[in-house]
Structure 1
């Protein structure tokens, strides 16, 4: 399988993966934001998504940066409506 070499395609894939993690783990996201342990609560899910993303994206695109930015943009920013002491 060819790896994604287009930065926009890689960003879309990262956002899609993180959106799926958030969608299928709503209770964990809410709990993780409220208790300020979102990365601990979703560790397995995020790692699985990260590995899938890395397997699909060319290393020259710096997939770790793209994925981490997607986590913030999709998972954390969208959770801004959840009450938490972190904001």
Structure 2
């Protein structure tokens, strides 16, 4: 069994890696979601699966654990999709 991550920097790095993989394997859905402003609805299942994986690897006592994963979504998936034409920009 893998050790629980207790360092916030390492936890954030893990969250970014998980979200990066999600975005990589779902490029068409990410693009469609950005274009139609429905990214969170379209990617809900994948993002929740990633969140569950993140929570199994990061200590539940870590302060702001939820926010680390949310920030990774914005930093990795949303910001990198900024080049996609959309009415939300």
4+ residue segments displaced more than 3 Å: none
What is the RMSD of the two structures over their aligned residues, measured on CA atoms? 0.8
TM-score by length of 1: 0.96
Of 59, 71, 87, 1:85 maps to 87
TM-score by length of 2: 0.94
| Structure 1: tracts of 5 or more residues without a match | none
| Count of paired positions | 87
| Structure 2: tracts of 5 or more residues without a match | none
Partner of residue 78, structure 2: 76
Partner of residue 16, structure 1: 17
Partner of residue 7, structure 1: 8
Superposed displacement of residue 53, structure 1 = 0.1
